[in-house]
Amino acid sequence: MKDQAVLDLISSSFSSTLSSPRFGENLQTVKTHLYNRSFSEAFPTAKPEDDTVDNESQTLLETYVVRWVPTRVLCYARIFERIASFLPEELRAVCIGAGCGSESLAFRAAFNRTRMVLK
């Protein structure tokens, strides 16, 4: 997966977030939460009573994704590409953590460019 394809995938997946007239305001809200180390506000999770995320929370999560995930994906992909020759031809990878989307997408992008098979 080439860099532009990764960026296009994220852009098309979150086109409504990117085109929102409130995108700048939402981005500033996320930045403020991160600066204040209010991670539960920056990354709201589902409410236990109904297991859903409200629209405002979903908007903040998507705003974070479109601002920070693309650069992280491209950086991680470069790292994975550079170490790919040191890894076995078939690789099983586990990404654990709060939001492993960047790493997962980077694996796919990097290994599509190399001889590796990702399982």
Whether the per-residue pLDDT at 25 is higher than 90: the answer is: yes
Distance of CA 33 to the CA centre of its chain: 18
Which residue segment(s) compose the domain that 29 sits in?
A: 3-118
DSSP letter (8 states) at residue 88 = -
Whether the per-residue pLDDT at 98 is higher than 70: the answer is: no
Q: How many domains does the structure of the chain reveal?
A: 1
Gyration radius (Cα) of the chain, Å? 16
Whether the per-residue pLDDT at 3 is higher than 70: the answer is: yes
pTM, 2 dp: 0.74
Residues 116 and 119: their CA atoms lie apart, in Å, by 10
Closest CA to 6 of 88, 82, 90, 104: 104
Three-state DSSP state, 36: coil
Average pLDDT over residues 45-57: 67
